[in-house]
A and B are shown apart, each in its own frame.
Chain A
Amino acid sequence: MGKRLLSALLLTSASLAASAGWADAKTVIHMMHQGDPGWVKAYADVAKRFEGANPDVDIEFIYAPHDAYNEKFSAAVMSKQLPDIMEIDAPFLANYAWSGYLQPIKSLIDKDVIDDMTASNVSQGTYPIDKELYAVGLTDSSVVLYGNKKYLEAIGARIPKSVDDAWTKEEFEGYLEKLSKLDGVKWPIDTFRGYGIKTEWITYAYGPLLESAGCDLIDRKTWKATGTLDSDACVGALTMVQTWVKNGWVVPGSSGTNQFYAEGRPAALALGGHWFYAEAAAAMKDDIVVMPLPKLGDKGVSPNGTWIWGITKTSEHPDVAGKFLSFLLKDKDYREYAKHESAFPGLKSFAESSPLYAPGGAMAVAFEQASKTAVARPPHPAYPAITSAFMQAVDKAFNGGDVKQALSEAAQKIDEDIDDNDGYPPFNAQQ
């Protein structure tokens, strides 16, 4: 009796172990990301649905808080523990692709998603050397000029209806001056110096101003900064902003980032990201006007780029990873949450279903910019050095330093970094 029980037990446990072993033959996909708790939950829910539809796949998340994300990525690379899917900040795509961490993604993603991408979205995920797409995403970003309706009416300013009739440089400077004299306006414009002096915002927001004025952070053909970043056009544009700061027209960094909608509305205009709309509209309701970025030269330029998804070269199951990404980007609930967060659309179908960005919506002009004026930040592996040097130059300029010298020093640092890396071949052969 005992012996039979024992053998029965042994048999049961053996078969359990065997079935567990079989069950373990699941494909595991690791996805590394950042974001606040809401997004964490959103991804987890999508993963559950995907696992339900694909029982042989297990999605595991590797999460790092926003501020430590780049360090986490470096740690993962150094310990040779790269995930299958990783979230990338768009301007750093060139660096990662060049370093060999990513693989082209077009063939791994559902075709209808690829076709659904806006032009801006495609540009933020493209590696210029082979013109291949290395990353996809649901969202994109933009910067617009928010205005306080009452103040603008008081000075008789023209409100542009679309990107095509954005303010010209003369109009813009004229309005700034008029606003500075208006009662109730403490600062004509807020450029969010309150975000800090060492933040990607600086290159993201001020870079397009320089580009609109006719120059660039770096020559995108020869990949040299000297002669481009410190050219007269750039010096002129940055000096213009420096003058505004000197005149006291720009909200200082230590006054926070809420001066556009704080009590008394001390700031009349705000050069802000699309994410700013939610907090500003909550306080200002209908008093807010959304305008395209002004044209400082012949054409207007707006920034783009946000966190997008790439598949790593070391992934053992890139096809499954691609399947999951396609699933994610088409998932209804995920899109609902993104809409709830006023996310800026990177997919045309998503744009159509977002009332905020659809034609007639409050932020429609922002979405228009994506197709008409969006220019990606320089897609070059030296981007970390470019953005760091530019931030320092802007800081010096805002504190009254010599603009030409500041930009020249920045250009020098950038060129030095490129030299140190032997020109980041094959980028040096692009001439």
Chain B
Amino acid sequence: MSDIALPRVVTAERSVKISLRIVQTAAIFIIALIVISPLFMLLIASLKDDRFQILADMGSFRAFWVSNPTLSNFNEIAHFSGELAYGRYLFNSLVILAVTVASGLVVNSMAGFILAWGSLRGKAVLLSLVVALYVIPQESIIMPLVVMMSRAGLTDTFAVQILPWVASPLYIFLFYQFFAQLPKELYEAAEIDGASIFRIYRSIYLPLSLPALATVSILMGIESWNQYLWPTLVTQTDYARPISVAIATFFGQDSIYWDRAMAASVLMMIPILALYLAFQRWFVSSFVGSAVKG
């Protein structure tokens, strides 16, 4: 009886698997299409060197096609030795990003950890406070912040572009959520071994939180890289200006230089894409299981 029944069960399971695969592949194709086509249009526009042509093509399917693709726009920007020092701006952006992300990881993860495993009382209130702080939109604090920074004499520095964005309620909350999920046996075992809370954080929980660290690095990186209004307001000279401000210069006035604007936008995306690709491998391995087993 069972010999006859087994092949049927196996075939049923297999056909479910196959149809799932088909659905999966189809879903990936459709989503990829939706996700990529608008960006493809951006790429195509950056390869057209006549800004009037780009304007004329906008709004029709010709925006997805280029007859004489050329890299001249990118060349123009790279060699634009005008008064916009792109090399300097790029360097500034990278420095600001690196320091912001590095310090942000430390500051926010420590705070999140204490919220999750510390012995402070009133944790529920603190957590609600963190959520409350996330509600505040940047637009409502930007002007008072500008005045505060200029009174502190911090305009035109790297520090003023880094400090306000290091601690963030969103990332503290994210780290809290992640740490709280980890089993408390880890904590108790380490405590019995006599480790200080900082040691527990540094040697046990932090290594286990690579996915969270990767997530926060990427999110903070994007935020820092695309930040444009704040640097405009607090910097005067090229000394500490980031590249996002330079890119914004292409998008002003009555007639926009679309050819250069599109190419500049494409260039802006490359460093962050590199950051993302580098960090996203940390989503792959699963550390938690092995740690608990031991």
Contacts and interface: CB of A to CB of B under 8 A. Distances in A.
* Direct touch of chains A and B (CB < 8 A): yes
Interface of A: 34-38, 40-41, 43-44, 60-68, 71-72, 74-75, 78-81, 255-256, 258, 261-263, 273, 275, 278-279, 282-283
B294 to A, nearest CB: 54
A258 B256 CA distance: 13
A67 B254 CA distance: 11
30 contacts: A35-B249, A36-B256, A36-B257, A37-B257, A40-B249, A44-B82, A62-B237, A65-B228, A65-B232, A66-B252, A67-B248, A67-B251, A68-B228, A68-B232, A71-B229, A72-B232, A75-B146, A75-B147, A75-B234, A78-B147, A78-B150, A79-B147, A79-B151, A81-B150, A255-B59, A262-B59, A263-B56, A263-B60, A273-B254, A278-B255
Interface string B32-61: 000000000000000000001001101110
Would you list the 9 A-B pairs with minimal beta carbon distance, nearest first?
A: A66-B252, A79-B150, A41-B82, A44-B83, A65-B248, A75-B233, A282-B52, A68-B232, A75-B146
A36 B150 contact: no
Nearest to B252: A66
Given A78-B146, A258-B56, A262-B56, A37 B80 contact: yes
A83 to B, nearest CB: 9
Given A79-B147, A283-B56, A62 B253 contact: no
Given A65-B245, A68-B233, A68-B248, 19 more contacts: A35-B253, A40-B82, A41-B82, A43-B83, A60-B237, A64-B232, A68-B228, A71-B229, A71-B232, A72-B233, A75-B147, A75-B233, A78-B147, A79-B147, A79-B150, A81-B236, A261-B56, A263-B56, A278-B255
Task: With a 10 A CB-CB cut-off, give which of A67, A80, A256, A283 has the most chain B CB atoms.
Answer: A67
A65 B155 contact: no
Output the residue of B55, B228, B248 with the most chain A CB within 10 A: B55
B84 interface: yes
Nearest to A342: B255
B187 interface: no
Interface of B: 52, 55-56, 58-60, 80, 82-84, 143, 146-147, 149-151, 155, 228-229, 232-234, 236-237, 245, 248-257, 260
B213 to A, nearest CB: 33
Nearest to B261: A36
Contacts of A283: 52, 56
Contacts of A62: 236-237
A80 B147 CA distance: 9
A178 to B, nearest CB: 27
A37 B84 contact: yes
Contacts of A263: 56, 60
A22 B151 CA distance: 29
Contacts of A63: 249
A216 to B, nearest CB: 25
Contacts of A37: 80, 82, 84, 249-250, 257, 260
Nearest to B231: A68
A278 B58 CA distance: 17
A84 B248 CA distance: 24
A41 B229 CA distance: 22
A40 B83 contact: yes
Contacts of B237: 60, 62
Nearest to B149: A79
A40 B150 CA distance: 25
